[in-house]
Amino acid sequence: MNLLITGAWQDARNMIPRLREMGHAVEFLQYEKDPLPCGYAWVEGVVCNGLFLHHPIENFENLKYIQLTSAGLDRVPVDYIRARGLEIHNARGVYSVPMAEYALAGVLQLYKHMDFFRENQKKHVWEKHRGLAELAGKTVCILGCGSVGAECAKRFSAFGCRVVGVDINSEPRAYFDEMYQPRNLDGILSGADVVVLAIPLTEETRYLMDAGKFRRMKPGAILVNISRGAVADTEALTETLRTGHLGGAVLDVFEEEPLAPDSPLWELENVIITPHVSFVGEQNGKRLAECICTNIRGWKEKHNAF
């Protein structure tokens, strides 16, 4: 297969010899917005992230295979890909562990008021806080039960939480005490102490968490968003947090990134803001390389290539 790989895969240059040993011709493009190092017609497979935001997919007339370095599919023309029967893989499972650890850490930080103690530490102040909460016994609703949601469920379950999953595939699965269809979400929100958003951004999920959903959430509940910013209506979320209805939010993704300096979210004391880093972990490179090579090897075996 003629493979075009981009700098979205940080270890791409180091992996070129391995891909060539597997029998593939390889061209490398550091920045996806730049001109290709080859003709569009040459490309049969790509390893990329946002390549088709800069190069129309229609130009790749011989494209058969797409491997994304991201878990989300919101940067590729999914309808076009499906209509033409192109094989596509995301980076399923690569970033799930650090994202789940982030979700758990954020909730614990709010429950244990770690910002209060950190500030006092800076000032050398010995002061107790009597409002620390326990995670054990809480109900955690995980919206989106793919690999990220499953890793979240594993960790919250280990802390003694009742874990409820909401997914279009509501079959029973490990670490989830109960599974429900999205149509049941309103009722579940009213009883959840923590709501974790781990769903992909699609036209159906855009602004899924709107003003009505936030009002239905249990008073004092915490929202964690590690999916995509546009899954939640930012204005409605900000207003709900301002009123004190929610206990807090852990936000790693936003509708517009970077988050504007004048966004009121920065000023809310019960909000943790991070710059889209929940996926970061030192084992990502190894997991991504194995994911990519396994999928490419599978394509070769399936098509009896070479």
Q: What is the C-alpha separation between 20 and 1, in angstroms, rounded? A: 10
* 228 in active site: yes
Looking at residue 23, its amino acid is: G
Q: One of 119, 235, 257, 267 is an active-site residue; which one?
A: 257
Q: One of 24, 55, 155, 228 is an active-site residue; which one?
A: 228
Q: One of 92, 216, 245, 276 is an active-site residue; which one?
A: 276
Listing from the earlier edge strand, what are the strands of the sheet with 25-29?
Answer: 25-29, 2-6, 45-48, 65-68, 87-89
* 257 in active site: yes
Q: Annotate the chain with three-state secondary structure.
A: CEEEEECCCCCHHHHHHHHHHCCCEEEEECCCCCCCCCCHHHCCEEEECCHHHHCCHHHCCCCCEEEECCCCCCCCCHHHHHHCCCEEECCCCCCHHHHHHHHHHHHHHHHCCHHHHHHHHHCCCCCCCCCCCCCCCCEEEEECCCHHHHHHHHHHHHCCCEEEEECCCCCCCCCCCEEECHHHHHHHHCCCCEEEECCCCCCCCCCCECHHHHHHCCCCCEEEECCCHHHECHHHHHHHHHHCCCCEEEECCCCCCCCCCCCHHHHCCCEEECCCCCCCCCCHHHHHHHHHHHHHHHHHHHHCCC
User: Which residues are known to be catalytic?
Assistant: 228, 257, 276
